[in-house]
Structure 1
């Protein structure tokens, strides 16, 4: 296990992050609330099959509670299922562009501390299983996975936030041949000799391949904003894990399209168009040459 001296920079970075997060909360709490919309997104156990319908519920939390969900890592055992919790919604606040920049300066500081902690943990303990035990010792009161969450602040003066469900079923990750060999070796351990050799031969035909993974249905937000200098309209898509914070000098509520009940599509989707299986029954695929 890592020594106290090696863990000290991580502990100090976490304390700095907590202090900065407290500053962010205090500053945002001082702004005028224009719109406060929060929806609870149900949790499901890791690996559980999702139902065909997922219903979201409107909440009326206090401002301080919403700010905690947006800014602070999630405490352990805070909810019925001890996993990262998601909320959707918009917290619209009225403030000047200078105040917005002050908030963003603090948000960047918080993000840098988070990035430092994540990298330092990986450097200190490269083995993911041992790192899990280390995180529980260093951060017993929070869900470590939620440390990666950045404060969800929209561009200044954003004009709308539209929520929807992302139904993508597959994603691909590029692998080196060395990384792919680890997967192939596991497959070959239970394959007959001729099949094992065939798998190796297939792998050697490529400089790199891809790993296809399932992506769970998840909520997302499309944020619309306008560049004040160029007048250009921009759209930003973000995964949703807490209400989006919108800061504007306007006292008019922006357009918000809340998250609706998810209903599974009966249409078959082909999200891996352009890829073919490298080894049948495995997660390895290769990209077709167009």
Structure 2
């Protein structure tokens, strides 16, 4: 940690709160994260938020290519000048929300592995982006604030279960792997973090016929959490069909319209969206 702080001082860099910069400086945790990856020499890894290069330098000897994304130009200069020595590391100055994951996977001829400590402010939009590009990824190991990680892995019927849970679990095998205490970071944040592993597989996608309808149904079901499915779908679902037909489809799937969206399983969301997709196609 001392050398990292010295580098920050020498380059007159202060962690930027607006970018959610909390650098992981615990060597033990860094090695535990790398161990989760099952890295192979022919793989390409995208690192989100290279920061001080603590993970970058550990990844480089283990893989074919590391694409280290960092939006902070001061940190990019530090990485290029002092930290990154391996020729297979490319530091990219870019907002990760604009990164072309499918294009990069195609360029390198293989699916990508993704690693990153995700700032709270972009947790949901970045996760939705990665899930959208799931066919270009093989695995992601992501650090989130613990409350976000809890939402991702939550089970039906719990307070944390919601859109993040359904979209994540319908797209990948998801597991919470490590709890990282706040003192493992510099500067120390106010909350603990957790590492979530996503293993993507085309065979894992659970037979969804129309992703647009599936996403619409899920979002509508959680739009008004305290209301029943009957009421929240009536108020928020817009698929261009009669609500009476939607309600009959809910019942035909064996789902009580008096239930709340948070009680539906992944399979029930899939069956309902597939039935609505079939109805819309007539």
Higher strand proportion (structure 1 or 2)? 1
Same fold (TM over 0.5): no
Q: Which has the larger radius of gyration?
A: 1
TM range (shorter): under 0.3
Task: Give the TM-score of the pair, scaled to structure 1.
Answer: 0.27
